Amino acid sequence: MIKVKLPTMLVCVISVFFTSVSIAHEAKPNSLEQSPMFIGIKSVPGQVVTQFHQALKAQDKIAARKLLADDVLIFEGGGVERSADEYAHHHMLSDMKYLAATNSELLEHNVKVTGNSAVSMSRSKTTGTYKNKTLNYEGMETIVLEKQLGEWKIVHIHWSN
């Protein structure tokens, strides 16, 4: 039989307890920034993507347009728009109405920055009713950003569901 003094045993038990608490705390992220499903969202390009979504939802055409590169390429629903002006004068307004009428929950968002380029990839769940149609689907978005004259601009968007 091994004899262990009570204080030594107590120190071991306390040490194991606090190590377990520390590991458990690290394993459960308490904010989006700490979740492996949300990486890089606080980066400047990640903030630009968030601002773009907020501008569309708020139906702020000027703010949304400002975040797009002039030669942005947008793929959506089998269609292509080849400039920010083309998007702003056509499909942007319908996107704004759609987003204002629906709810979107961000499920995953990862932003990877490499030099003057960044890629934002996300999944979201959209619910609600639009034009008398009930919506409940998951969508995916890829946005490519480029640093142009010191500002991050969206140069490509691909939306699918």
Residue 5 lies in a domain: no
Residue 106: how many other CB atoms lie within 10 Å: 16
- Asked if residue 125 has pLDDT above 80, the reply is yes
Q: Please, is 149 exposed, middle or buried when counting C-beta atoms within 10 Å of its C-beta (0-12, 13-18, 19+)?
A: exposed
Residue 52 lies in a domain: yes
Q: Containing domain of residue 109, as a range? A: 32-160
Residue 91 lies in a domain: yes
Indicate the range of 25-34, 54-63, 80-89 predicted with least confidence: 25-34
User: What average pLDDT does the chain have?
Assistant: 85
Domain at 138, CATH number: 3.10.450.50
What local confidence, expressed as pLDDT, does residue 31 receive?
56
pTM of the prediction? Answer: 0.79
Residue 21 lies in a domain: no
- Dump pLDDT digits (tens) for 95-120: 999 999 999 999 999 999 999 999 99
The dihedrals phi and psi of 133, each to the nearest 5 degrees, come to: -115, 125
- Asked if residue 144 has pLDDT above 90, the reply is yes
Residue 99 lies in a domain: yes
pLDDT band at 32 (very low <50, low <70, confident <90, very high): low
Residue 109 lies in a domain: yes
Residue 144 lies in a domain: yes
pLDDT band at 34 (very low <50, low <70, confident <90, very high): low
- Asked if residue 18 has pLDDT above 90, the reply is no
108/38 Cα distance (integer angstroms):
6
Specify the number of domains making up the chain: 1
Residue 69 lies in a domain: yes
Higher-confidence residue: 74 or 1? 74
CB-based contact 154:48 (threshold 8 Å)? yes
Query: What tokens appear for 109 in the block?
Result: 């968002």
Higher-confidence residue: 49 or 20? 49
Task: Tell me the sheet residues that pair with 135.
Answer: 128
